[in-house]
Amino acid sequence: MKKNLLILILIALATFSYANDTFFFMTGGQLYPSDAKNLEVEMQEEIITVTLEKGFYQITVDFYFYNHGKSVSMDVSFPFFCVGLGGDGEIWDFETWTNGKSTSFKDLPIAKEWQNNTELKLEKAYVRNINFPSNQITETRISYKSKYGIAAPSFAIATYLYGTGETWKNSIGKITFRVVNNLLYDYPIQIYKAEVPVADKFYRKADNIFEAVFYDVEPEKFNETFRIFVGDILGNDGPMRLSKNSFFGCKGIIPQRKLFWYTKEQLRLVRNAIYAFHGYEFKAADLKAYFESTGSEWNPKYAVNKNFSESEFSKDELYNIRTIYKEEQNRLKIESQRNK
């Protein structure tokens, strides 16, 4: 695999931005060996878990290394980058383990002054020493939290840098990328791997857990990332106020694959949004509160229609209601089978 100096990685990432001149946060990175010369340690497997929470996301990564050469002890860096609007994007609650045991680390700044961009803070790296025994597997784990990045029009972005994995021997044998959605009103609208959409490669492990597997990953560039774009479940992300004519549940048939990314509770909200756009008066307290709050931003605002009738629904709306409800029942059935 190609060998690159850590400082070159940082310089390149300082200029990495999203479309429309909107920076997104580049936070946690791959584990990076201090001495890549004649390195015989291979990253056989990497399991990345991104948990989407309100206001932040948490990343936990399990690495499985195999040393083909002599036993070696070396410093391993975990670089992180404070890149983003206003210089945010720092990480916190960083922890690390080696072979199941908590491992101490040093928080070291990278000795590089940024020029022509005073908003960017100095990047740092968490550094620890790891022993890689000859012809054995060494397991390591890292965990941290980070703020979401920002992208136009109003999407949040969770980012994980995997490109620096090219510094180890051979390709990355296997990457399992897992997304856990703990958000109630937002969901992953798209996932990119090195700028290529990969959402269609995921399968559902549980109602809110999605997973994809990639084999023999050889990054072409050391700044390659996984990026998860997170948006509102009703599609209320743009500058224009949401209306019945623009809401996907009312203006056409909802693709089955789109429903894949919603949790069971989110499916219920989307289904009832079709009723809300026709002025249905909700009896359930949670639905009533949600649509009175969310609907206050619609055009026109949500209001109870005393003359509401399902006969007002279009064929597409009736189809979408049945399809979503069927998916909800399917999720319940799967959960029931798993709990047996």
Asked whether residue 193 falls in the same domain as residue 301, the answer is no
Instruction: Give residue 29's pLDDT.
Output: 58
Instruction: Give residue 181's pLDDT.
Output: 98
Under DSSP, the state recorded for 37 is T
Supply the CATH number for residue 30's domain: 2.60.40.3680
Asked whether residue 183 falls in the same domain as residue 329, the answer is no
Is 133 inside any structural domain? Answer: yes
User: How far is Cα 260 from Cα 208, in angstroms, rounded to an integer?
Assistant: 10
Asked whether residue 201 falls in the same domain as residue 58, the answer is yes
Dump the DSSP string for 38-63. Answer: T--EEEEEEEEEEEEETTEEEEEEEE
Report how many helices (DSSP H) and strands (DSSP E) the chain contains, helices first: 6, 17
From the first residue on, what is the mean pLDDT of each consecutive set of 10 residues in the chain (340 residues)? 36 30 42 69 95 95 95 82 48 91 77 37 70 96 89 85 83 96 96 95 96 94 86 89 94 92 97 98 97 95 96 96 96 80
User: How far is Cα 262 from Cα 259, in angstroms, rounded to an integer?
Assistant: 5
112 backbone dihedrals φ, ψ, rounded to 5°:
-150, 125
Please give the tally of structural domains in the chain. Answer: 2
Q: Which of 200, 232, 264 is the last residue of a domain?
A: 232
Residues pairing with 178 in the sheet: 49, 211
Asked whether residue 149 falls in the same domain as residue 206, the answer is yes
Supply the CATH number for residue 286's domain: 1.20.58.1690
Domain assignment of residue 267, given as a range: 248-338
Asked whether residue 222 falls in the same domain as residue 276, the answer is no
Asked whether residue 66 falls in the same domain as residue 212, the answer is yes
Q: Which residues of 66-78 are buried (b: 16+ CB within 10 A; e: fewer)?
A: bbeeeebeebbbb
Instruction: Give residue 2's pLDDT.
Output: 41
> pTM for the full model?
0.85
Asked whether residue 166 falls in the same domain as residue 30, the answer is yes
